[in-house]
Structure 1
Amino acid sequence: MNKILLILISSLVVVSCVGKHKSESQSVNISEQVRSPLEISGDTANVNPSHSKILWKGTKMHGTGKHEGDIALKTGYFITQNGQLKGGEFIVDMQTIEVTDIPKHDPVPRNNLKNHLKNSDFFDVDKFPTSIFQITEIKNFSKDSINVSGNLTIKGITNGIEFSALINENKFTSRFTFNRFDWNIAYEGSWADKTLVDKDIELTIEIVME
């Protein structure tokens, strides 16, 4: 086969793979840590951790590969006023991070990836066993659409983030990506080592209130 034609075909394959795995979710707006407002008064709506879900997805080599998994919400609550969300706080148990796209009957690569994510190369869960998100402001767009601002702490680093979410009865849902380097989620090594895994982490969140 002509070498030029082979190169063109290979390029098309790579482009098609990138398009296939590219996330269409919103990217959070990241800022410095937001000063928390004065204590918000209202009713407390506790979260049901066993019915809530936090799903993660990471890609590599510009989207040509990916891994997916989940992680457990430890505790959480919303603050409401007159039936509207005004604040809240959520604690994620980083020790529970799991890989779901590698089947359980193939435990070696599944556990290798899980341990890689847990150790100091990425989330360092022994040193930082929890991550925390504290809502500082909620703006209502419509009856079921809101804009959420808050402080996200991962690995002891806190940044302010802003994203949109949906509210349907007792369920809070959102899907967004964030740049892992803003929270120093990267293992040591050469520039190539650090960037082999793409910078964005996608989270799909479904929080159910009791």
Structure 2
Amino acid sequence: MKTSLIAIALIIASIVQVNAQDTANLDIQKSNLYWMGSSFMGFNNHHGTVKFKEGYVNLTNGKISGGEFTIDMNTITNLDGKGYNEGLVEHLKNEDFFFTFRYPTAQLTITQVDYIDANTITIKADLIIKSIKKPVKFTALLDYDKKEMLTNFDIDRTRWNILHATEFDTKIKNNMISDTIEFKAQLIFK
């Protein structure tokens, strides 16, 4: 009986160790999130950055298996140097875009990771902007030596109720800008 209990304890310990999960924290000082938006016809592009507040990935047996990232929407900047900087940033923060006073953060939670090869993964995640949760899917490249993940992805802003202008003139102004917001992320882990 005593031998059976010891054997069961060893089996449980080995299963726990095999499925051991580690966490790699995001280095928010070195990581970057770039955005780009444009008018409907591609004229008058704007681009900038927004900073991560925190983040991490879960590692199971050395492979990414999940994670979560929080974005500080009040850090949004415009870098296109067309004289729109302060006015555009304030406009992006107001209620017809990201409404950062009410929704100061956005969140991405990884729900599934599929390895295409050792350095390429497909990620399915839930993206929450303005308290609206929608699924997204994108591919990421991994560099283990640099502890880096690179990805580019687009979202349709209308899925998160990111609309241009007030309800009265939304249709006219909203149709003047592209529904697509492009993101480029460089994630560096500690």
Q: Aligning the two structures, in what range does the TM-score lie when normalised by the shorter sequence?
A: 0.7 to 0.9
Equivalent position SS for 1:65? coil
State which of 159, 178, 199 in structure 1 corresponds to 2:134: 159
Partner residue of 2:76?
Answer: 97
Q: Write the distance in 1 (CA, Å) between the matches of 2:20 and 2:44.
A: 46
How many Å apart are 1:65 and its aligned residue?
A: 2.1
1:61 pairs with 7, 21, 40, which one?
Answer: 40
Instruction: Name 2:153's counterpart in structure 1.
Output: 176
Q: Aligned pair count?
A: 167
3-state SS, counterpart of residue 74 of structure 2? strand
1:192 aligned to 2:134? Answer: no
Please tell me the residue identity of whatever aligns with 2:155: F
C-alpha distance in 1 between matches for 2:68 and 2:33: 15
Which aligned segments of 4 or more residues in structure 1 are displaced greater than 6 angstroms? none
- For residue 119 of structure 1, the aligned residue among 94, 97, 115 is 94
Task: Please give the alpha-carbon distance, in whole angstroms, between the structure 1 residues aligned to 2:37 and 2:137.
Answer: 20
Q: Is the alpha carbon distance of 1:91 and 1:190 closer, same or farther for their aligned partners in structure 2, counting shifts above 3 Å?
A: closer
Work out the CA distance in 2 between the residues paired with 1:123 and 1:91.
15
In the superposition, the TM-score normalised over structure 1's length comes to: 0.77
Partner of 2:114: 139
Higher relative contact order structure (alpha carbons within 8 Å, sequence separation ≥ 6): 1
User: CA deviation digits over 1:140-163, x for unaligned, max 9?
Assistant: 000100000111000010001111
> Contact between 2:113 and 2:121, CA under 8 Å: does it hold in 1?
yes
In 2, Cα distance between the equivalents of 1:61 and 1:195? 7
Q: 2:49 aligns with which of 64, 70, 78?
A: 70
| Contiguous gaps of at least 5 residues in structure 2 | 1-18
Task: Give the CA deviation at 1:186.
Answer: 0.5
Instruction: Check 1:128–1:41 CA distance in 2 against 1; reply closer, same or farther (3 A cut).
Output: farther
Amino acid at match of 1:161: V
TM-score (ref. length: structure 2): 0.85
Q: CA deviation at 1:121?
A: 1.6
Structure 1 residue 85 corresponds to structure 2 residue 57: no
- Report the secondary structure of 2:162's partner residue: coil
State the 1:41 CA deviation: 5.9
Give 5+ residue unaligned stretches, structure 1: 1-39
Q: CA deviation at 1:179?
A: 0.3
Superposition deviation, residue 102 in structure 1: 1.6
**Contact persistence 1:145–1:166 (CA under 8 A):** yes
Task: Give the residue type in structure 2 aligned to 1:198.
Answer: S
Aligned alpha-carbon RMSD (Å): 1.3
* Percent of paired sites with the same residue: 31
* In structure 1, distance between residues paired with 2:179 and 2:170: 15
Instruction: For residue 51 of structure 1, report the CA deviation from its aligned partner.
Output: 0.3
3-state SS in 2 of match to 1:140: strand
